[in-house]
Amino acid sequence: MLLVYSFYFPGLTKITAAKKVAMTATIKALETTQKSTIETLKTDRFLADAHWDIVMLMSEIKNPYTDRKNVVR
């Protein structure tokens, strides 16, 4: 549906700098919470022998705006 509207309203899919900054801050907060949670789970005796490097790799949070070239300034 967004593609239909972006055809009629060019620029609708543009990402403003404020949205990019907000997304970056949110991703950073999520990564901090994720690392804290994983550190807590490492102390659980039932999960102590898990492959934590794989857990970190598979639960990586990527910023969807990092590769976008249509950022409005």
Give the tokens for residue 58: 């598979």
DSSP assignment letter at 69: S
- Spatial separation of the C-alpha atoms in residues 31 and 58, rounded to whole Å: 13
pLDDT score at 72: 53
Mean pLDDT of 53-71: 82
pLDDT at 51: 94
pLDDT tens digits, 9-40: 666 667 888 888 999 999 999 999 999 999 99
Domain extent listing, the chain? 19-72
Read out DSSP for 6-56? HHHSTTTT-EEHHHHHHHHHHHHHHHHHHHHHHHHHHT-TTTTTS-HHHHH
